[in-house]
């Protein structure tokens, strides 16, 4: 089974970032990480193709496959080698360790009209009165020694305020703030999957000048700037087709991975289809209010782009 997100450059870089740099491994656990947020946003609606989308919804379309594969790369234990089976074994292990999703940790929404754009139900191809979510956020917990108690938040939506896909690892707050009266923001490692691939680390530093004021800034690795002229960045499908021709299956999803993914999401979909969770309407170009409230409840603080 092909998931083209595994062929994206930042997904590929996740392995080298984690396992070829000694600085990250000591921090990659529940003692230092407060929360992980994997976020997918599109700034367009269904654009007349809502009839197709309505059969699947945002969870099946994006979350159960693309975002869960990114989660597995972030959370898995180190494989014994780069061989396809070794990597996929570790991914399956972490997917099987995910606890059942609780109904109170799920938010779904459906976009309405806003900013001069029509709402989802105004798409003539969408069935009248449809309750299919165009936005979803849910929190997962991994029951293992590395990640016990750390929320892994997946969110995906159409008609959002911007277009991007991010993996955001937010670290715990500094203990014992010695900068009296000054707010110390949490460190955050951000991997921008698309557009404009980048990896950056948000840190606190002294603002230049005579006063001892601290500000947040980013240590930025922009792929466009750093590797300009360094060669062609292959499209995700281009990479996967190339690997298929080589007989390399490391970026393909194994049957037991797929089964583990459906074990997680089938109960959530059953709750939705049984109308136990109703989608809240959000204006086109915004984020659902209940999603922001869920982030706060889970301890994730949004403090930058």
Q: Among all residues, which ones are annotated catalytic?
A: 66
d(C-alpha 273, C-alpha 283), whole Å: 23
Q: Between helices 68-75 and 9-19, what is the axis angle to 10°?
A: 10
d(C-alpha 225, C-alpha 247), whole Å: 33
Neighbours of 77 (CB within 10 A): 14
Are 150 and 35 within 8 A, CB to CB? yes
Please name the residue ranges forming H helices in the chain. Answer: 9-19, 50-54, 57-58, 68-75, 84-96, 223-226, 236-246, 255-273, 289-298
Tell me which long-range contacts 233-237 makes (C-beta under 8 A, separation of at least 24): 233/9, 233/197, 234/7, 234/9, 235/7, 236/4, 236/5, 236/6, 236/7, 236/8, 237/4, 237/7
Tokens representing residue 177 in the block: 């703030």
């Amino acid at each position: 089974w092909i998931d083209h997100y595994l062929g994206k450059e930042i997904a590929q870089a996740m392995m080298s970032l984690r396992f070829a740099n000694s600085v990250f491994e000591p921090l990659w656990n529940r003692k230092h990480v407060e929360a992980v947020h994997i976020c997918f946003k599109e700034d367009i609606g269904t654009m007349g193709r809502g009839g197709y989308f309505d059969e699947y919804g945002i969870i099946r379309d994006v979350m159960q496959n693309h975002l869960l594969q990114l989660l597995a790369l972030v959370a898995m234990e180190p494989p014994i080698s780069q061989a396809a089976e070794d990597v996929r074994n570790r991914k399956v292990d972490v997917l099987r360790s995910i606890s059942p999703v609780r109904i109170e940790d799920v938010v779904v929404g459906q976009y309405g009209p806003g900013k001069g754009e029509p709402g989802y139900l105004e798409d003539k191809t969408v069935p009248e009165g449809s309750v299919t979510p165009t936005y979803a956020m849910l929190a997962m917990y991994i029951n293992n020694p590395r990640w016990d108690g750390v929320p892994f938040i997946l969110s995906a939506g159409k008609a959002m305020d911007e277009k991007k896909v991010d993996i955001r690892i937010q670290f715990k707050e500094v203990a014992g703030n010695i900068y009296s009266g000054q707010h110390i923001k949490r460190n955050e490692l951000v991997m921008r999957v698309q557009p404009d691939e980048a990896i950056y680390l948000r840190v606190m530093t002294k603002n230049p000048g005579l006063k001892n004021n601290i500000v947040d800034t980013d240590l930025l690795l922009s792929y466009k700037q750093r590797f300009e002229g360094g060669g062609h960045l292959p499209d995700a499908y281009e990479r996967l087709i190339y690997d298929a021709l080589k007989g390399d299956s490391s970026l393909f999803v194994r049957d037991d991975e797929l089964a583990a993914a459906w074990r997680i999401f089938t109960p959530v979909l059953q709750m939705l289809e049984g109308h136990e969770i109703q989608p809240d309407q959000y204006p086109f170009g915004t984020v659902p209010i209940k999603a922001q409230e869920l982030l706060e409840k889970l301890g994730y603080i949004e403090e930058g782009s």
